[in-house]
Amino acid sequence: MTAQYVAVGVDGTLTAVRALDWAAQEAVRRHAALRVVHAVRDQDEAGPILASAAARIHSHHPGLQVETASRVGGAAEALVRESDGAALTVVGNRGLGGVTGLLFGSVSLRLAAQIRSPLLVVRGDHRCDDGREVLLGLASDAD
């Protein structure tokens, strides 16, 4: 089965915007749709962040098919579910965090441990168009 989309998690932070930009570029390269996912406590919270993300992508990549999805619950759980059919899942390395991050750990680390599709973690302090490749391959032989 060929994946039809690149998934990206957004939360309104600058790091998430950088992840969004990377994900959009990857979707264009792969001729895939972009699925923008925002995890919320209440469904009504997602509107402004998703609308802003979609507007940014439409202004930079007018021909790219963009889907937005809000998911009630934790970010890691939402992105694990969204990654099942994704060619790639993209997240920033720092989110809203705070006490929740201290209690439950990094979303990117939890995703690296749980998803079965490729994961790209974008650092917030690097440009996504500098032309350098970053690759990391990990295999788990644990039974």
Contact yes or no for 63/24 (Cβ under 8 A): no
Q: Is the pLDDT of residue 141 over 60?
A: no
DSSP 40: E
In percent, the amount of the chain with pLDDT more than 70 equals 75
User: Highest mean pLDDT: which of 41-50, 58-67, 74-83, 115-124?
Assistant: 58-67
Structure tokens at 5: 């989309």
Determine the residue type at 113. Answer: A
Where in the chain are the domains?
5-122
| Separation of alpha carbons 109 and 94, rounded Å | 11
Residues 9-61 have pLDDT tens digits of 998 888 899 999 999 999 999 999 999 999 888 777 768 899 999 999 999 99
Cross-strand pairs, 39: 71
134-139 average pLDDT score: 61
Reply yes or no on domain 5-122 having CATH 3.40.50.620: yes
Contact yes or no for 81/110 (Cβ under 8 A): no
